């Protein structure tokens, strides 16, 4: 199976900032693609995600578990078993994901969600 692609979908410039910093830290470029919802209606966000994800295996990372980015990602992944959605994207989950892209998409999504959750701590 091809390595899983990572698509980061978020409000404004958040996705591009996350992707840029994940690449900067991991040294792996071209693994993640940023999609912004800025200036988009429903159909245009979906189209941007479809274009970025293609037809292959992908995990679509979204900033919030609600809102236009989330709804669009869910519609794109709805009929594609090889594409999964993970909400609450953070840098820790992306850094783990880029090193574990050979997993099946469902496993990669589960792992990323776990790593992202583990990264949330309080003092």
Partner 1 sequence: MPIVLHRVDDRLVHGQVVIGWGRPLDIGFIALVDDAVVASDWERELYRMGVPTEIELIFAGVADAARLAGQWRADPRNGIVLTADIPTMSAFCAAAAPVERVNLGGIHHKPGRTQRLPYIYLTDEEYHLLEELAGRGTAVTAQDLPTTTPVPLADLR
Chain residues that interact with partner 1, rule: CB under 8 A: 11, 39-44, 64-68, 70-71, 74-75, 78
Sign of CA dihedral 75, 110, 5, 62: positive
Nearer to partner 1, 23 or 47 (CB): 47
**3-state secondary structure (DSSP) of residue 81:** coil
* Least distance to partner 1, CB of residue 114, Å: 21
Burial of 100 (0-12, 13-18, 19+ CB in 10 A): middle
Nearer to partner 1, 13 or 28 (CB): 13
* Least distance to partner 1, CB of residue 2, Å: 28
Nearer to partner 1, 74 or 95 (CB): 74
**Cα–Cα distance between 98 and 25 in angstroms, integer?**
11
């Amino acid at each position: 199976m091809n390595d899983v692609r990572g698509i980061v979908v978020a409000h404004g410039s958040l996705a591009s900032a996350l992707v840029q910093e994940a690449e900067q830290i991991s040294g792996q470029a071209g693994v993640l693609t940023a999609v912004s919802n800025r200036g988009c209606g429903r159909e245009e966000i979906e189209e941007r995600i479809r274009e970025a994800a293609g037809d292959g295996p992908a995990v679509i990372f979204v900033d919030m578990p609600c809102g236009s980015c989330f709804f669009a990602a869910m519609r794109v992944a709805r009929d594609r078993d090889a594409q999964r959605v993970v909400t609450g994207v953070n840098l820790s989950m992306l850094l783990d994901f880029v090193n574990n892209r050979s997993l099946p998409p469902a496993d990669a999504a589960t792992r990323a969600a776990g790593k992202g959750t583990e990264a949330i701590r309080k003092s």
